[in-house]
């Protein structure tokens, strides 16, 4: 019985991965993350192509969330890996529970004062639903429906070439072994290409 359940789980996992890949290929979407642009929290353009050659972790954030403490972990990642080519990109969003109600100035001040954040941030952005930013719509097509943000502090990892390298749910700590290993794998690619 246990063997049958295990085989069924493997089969379903393979089906989900294949259908995700087929959906991507059927759409003919050959874009990379470098094809998308945000606006910086300070104003002005923030094109992802500016981070070409870097490993980027994109995180939708909120200041009044139970997971807001992950800002401290993101700051730790930034401090440990920025000199090796990591970019942490925070994307404040009010999509989940209205937990980011402030203005861009208020968000930036909150992050600087409470967490010492100095990594790049976008302006407040929709990451969920029909009004989601094009990057988030694109990213959600690559790993299937489970990879869409379902709450604040969802994470996408972008390889130095702009390809999506992975995603991590809200519950996954930015400093977990799973995330750190994935980042270090991408940073190794960066180092080999220097």
Active site residues: 65
Query: Tokens in use for 48?
Result: 């992802």
Contact 69, 186 (CB under 8 A): no
Alpha-carbon distances, residue 186 vs 9, 81, 142, 182 (angstroms): 29, 11, 18, 6
Q: Please write down the HEC assignment for all residues of 26-75.
A: HHCCCCCHHHCEEEECCCCEEEHHHHCCCEEEEEEECCCCCCCCHHHHHH
Strand bridging mode 86-92 / 55-61? parallel
């Amino acid at each position: 019985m246990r063997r049958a359940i295990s085989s069924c789980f493997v089969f379903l996992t393979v089906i989900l991965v294949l259908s995700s890949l087929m959906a991507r290929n059927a759409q003919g979407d050959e874009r990379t993350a470098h094809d998308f642009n945000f606006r910086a929290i300070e104003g002005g353009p923030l094109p992802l192509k500016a981070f070409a050659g870097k490993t980027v972790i994109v995180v939708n954030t909120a200041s009044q969330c139970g997971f807001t403490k992950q800002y401290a972990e993101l700051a730790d990642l930034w401090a440990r890996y920025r000199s090796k080519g990591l970019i942490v990109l925070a994307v404040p969003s009010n999509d989940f529970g209205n937990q980011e109600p402030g203005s861009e100035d208020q968000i930036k001040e909150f992050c600087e004062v409470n967490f010492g954040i100095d990594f790049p941030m976008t302006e407040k952005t929709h990451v969920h639903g029909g009004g989601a930013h094009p990057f988030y719509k694109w990213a959600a097509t690559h790993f299937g429906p489970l990879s869409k943000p379902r709450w604040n502090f969802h994470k996408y990892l972008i390889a130095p070439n702009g390809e999506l390298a992975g995603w991590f749910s809200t519950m996954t700590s930015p400093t977990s072994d799973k995330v750190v290993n994935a980042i270090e794998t991408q940073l190794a690619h960066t180092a080999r290409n220097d």
